C-alpha cells in the first residue's frame, strides 16, 4: 500500500531542530516530499541527509522567515523545486521569558517578529498553493498546522509576550480555519506542553536559572511530530481543529 502522503509536498518551518526536525522526518516517513526551512543550513542538511537515507525527498531552504521576502521565497522555492504545496507546518518559534518590568524590548520584538509575523508571512504566501492542492491535489485536501503552546491558552506571570504571540496564533488559526474550511484547506492548532528541545536555551542565563526549577517531565519532539502526523493524515472529511498535548505529569 502507498504511504498516505505519497505524492504530496510539505514545508516545515524551524526544521533545523526540535519539533520541526522531528516533524519533517515523520512526514517524510508518511511519504511526503519535505522542504526544510530555518537559518542554520548545516543542521538542515543533517535532517535532510537522514530523510534521504530512509529513501525520502528533502529540500533544504536557508531562510529567516522574519523577513517577508525570505518567508515567501521559502514557499515559492518549495513549489518550484518540489512541484506543489499540500502541507504547511508553521512551527518556527522562540520563547524568551522573564519579568516584563525589566525585559529587553529586543526580546519582545524577536518573539513578535518570528512567532507572529514570520508565521503570517508563511501563511500568506502558502494559502493560494494550499487552495490549489485542495482543489486538484492527490488527496483533494490541504493542511496548515500552526504550532501554538499551552501558553496560547493560559497566560502566566513571566511569560506575557510569549503568551501574547501564542494566543494570537490561536485566534488567527481559528479565523482562517473558518475562512478556508469549505474549500478543504484544514487549519489546525497544536498546543504542546513542555517538550525537550532547544527552545528554553535561548533565554538569558538569569532567566534560565529561574525557570530551570520549573522543568518537570517533558515530552520528546517525536511525540509532537506524531500528533502533527495524525492531523495531516486524516481522511478528507475529518479535520482535527485543535490539539492540546501535555506531558502526563504537567498540571498547568
Ligand atoms: N519545546 C517546548 O516545550 C514547546 C512547547 C510549546 C510550544 N512549542 C513551540 O514549538 C515550536 C518549535 O520549537 P522547539 O521547541 O522545537 O524549539 P527549537 O528546537 O528551539 O526550534 C525552533 C526552530 O525555529 C527556528 N527558527 C528560529 N528563528 C528562525 C527564523 N528567524 N527563521 C526561520 N526559522 C527560525 C530554529 O532554527 P534556526 O535557529 O536554524 O533558524 C529552530 O529550527 C515553537 O513555535 C515553540 O514555541 C515548544
pLDDT in tens, the chain (252 residues): 899 999 999 999 999 999 999 999 999 999 999 999 999 999 999 999 999 999 999 999 999 999 999 999 999 999 999 999 999 999 999 999 999 998 999 999 999 999 999 999 999 999 999 999 999 999 999 999 999 999 999 999 999 999 999 999 999 999 999 999 999 999 999 999 999 999 999 999 999 998 887 879 999 999 999 999 999 999 999 999 999 999 999 999
Phi, psi of 136, deg, nearest 5: -135, 15
Q: Atom 36, ligand 1: which residue's CA is nearest? A: 14
13: which residues sit within 8 A by CB, 6+ positions away?
20, 37, 38, 63, 65, 74, 88, 89, 90, 91, 92, 118, 119, 122
Within 10 A of 166 (CB to CB), how many other CB atoms are there?
Answer: 28
Ligand 1 binding pocket includes 40 (Cβ within 6 Å): yes
d(CA 144, CA 11) in angstroms, rounded, equals 10
Kindly report the length of the chain. Answer: 252
User: CA nearest 95: which of 195, 217, 219, 243?
Assistant: 195
Nearest CA to ligand 1 atom 43: 14
User: Ligand 1: which of 163, 173, 194, 199 to mutate, most ligand atoms within 8 Å of CB?
Assistant: 199
Whole-angstrom Cα Rg for the chain: 17
Rounded CA-CA distance 68/117 in Å is 8
Q: Is 149 in the pocket of ligand 1 (CB under 6 A)?
A: yes
From the CB of 246, is ligand 1 less than 6 Å away?
no
- Burial of residue 240, with CB atoms counted within 10 A of its CB: 0-12 exposed, 13-18 middle, 19 or more buried: middle
**How many angstroms does the Cα of residue 183 sit away from the middle of ligand 1?**
30
Direct distance between the N- and C-terminal alpha carbons of the chain, in angstroms, rounded to an integer? 42
Which candidate, 200, 205, 189, places its Cα nearest to that of 244?
Answer: 189
Residue 162: exposed, middle, or buried by beta-carbon count in 10 A (0-12, 13-18, 19+)? buried
Residues 188 and 239: beta-carbon distance below 8 Å: yes
Instruction: Report how far Cα 175 is from the mean position of its chain's Cα atoms.
Output: 18
Q: Which residues are catalytic?
A: 162
Give the model's pLDDT for residue 214. Answer: 80
Cell of 67: 523577513
Number of H helices, E strands in the chain: 8, 9
The pLDDT assigned to 156 comes to 96
- SS3 call for 1: coil
d(CA 49, CA 97): 34
Q: Is 28 in the pocket of ligand 1 (CB under 6 A)?
A: no
pLDDT of residue 4: 97
Q: What is the pLDDT of residue 191?
A: 98
14 lines ligand 1 (CB under 6 A): yes
Q: The C-alpha cell of 53 is what?
A: 537515507
- What is the separation of C-alpha 159 from the centre of its chain, rounded to a whole number of angstroms? 20
Q: What pTM value is reported for the model?
A: 0.98
Amino acid at each position: 500500500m502507498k504511504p498516505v502522503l505519497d505524492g504530496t509536498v510539505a514545508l516545515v518551518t524551524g526544521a533545523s531542530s526540535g519539533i520541526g526536525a522531528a516533524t519533517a522526518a515523520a512526514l517524510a516517513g508518511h511519504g511526503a516530499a519535505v522542504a526544510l526551512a530555518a537559518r542554520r543550513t548545516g543542521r538542515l542538511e543533517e535532517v535532510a541527509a537522514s530523510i534521504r537515507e530512509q529513501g525520502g525527498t528533502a529540500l533544504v531552504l536557508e531562510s529567516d522567515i522574519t523577513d517577508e521576502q525570505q518567508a515567501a521565497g521559502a514557499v515559492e522555492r518549495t513549489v518550484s523545486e518540489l512541484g506543489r504545496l499540500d502541507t504547511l507546518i508553521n512551527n518556527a518559534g522562540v520563547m524568551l521569558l522573564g519579568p516584563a518590568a525589566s525585559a529587553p524590548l529586543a526580546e519582545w520584538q524577536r518573539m513578535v517578529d518570528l512567532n507572529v509575523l514570520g508565521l503570517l508571512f508563511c501563511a500568506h504566501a502558502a494559502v493560494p498553493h494550499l487552495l490549489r492542492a485542495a482543489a486538484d491535489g492527490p488527496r483533494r485536501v490541504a493542511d496548515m498546522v500552526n504550532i501554538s503552546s499551552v501558553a496560547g491558552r493560559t497566560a502566566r506571570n513571566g511569560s506575557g509576550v510569549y503568551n501574547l504571540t501564542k494566543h494570537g496564533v490561536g485566534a488567527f488559526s481559528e479565523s482562517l480555519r473558518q475562512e478556508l474550511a469549505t474549500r478543504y484547506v484544514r487549519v489546525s492548532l497544536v498546543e504542546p506542553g513542555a517538550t525537550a528541545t532547544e527552545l528554553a536555551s535561548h533565554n538569558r542565563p538569569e532567566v534560565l536559572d529561574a525557570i530551570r526549577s520549573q522543568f518537570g517531565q517533558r515530552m520528546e519532539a517525536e511525540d509532537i511530530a506524531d500528533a502533527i502526523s495524525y492531523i495531516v493524515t486524516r481522511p478528507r472529511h475529518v479535520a482535527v481543529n485543535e490539539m492540546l498535548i501535555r506531558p502526563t505529569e504537567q498540571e498547568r
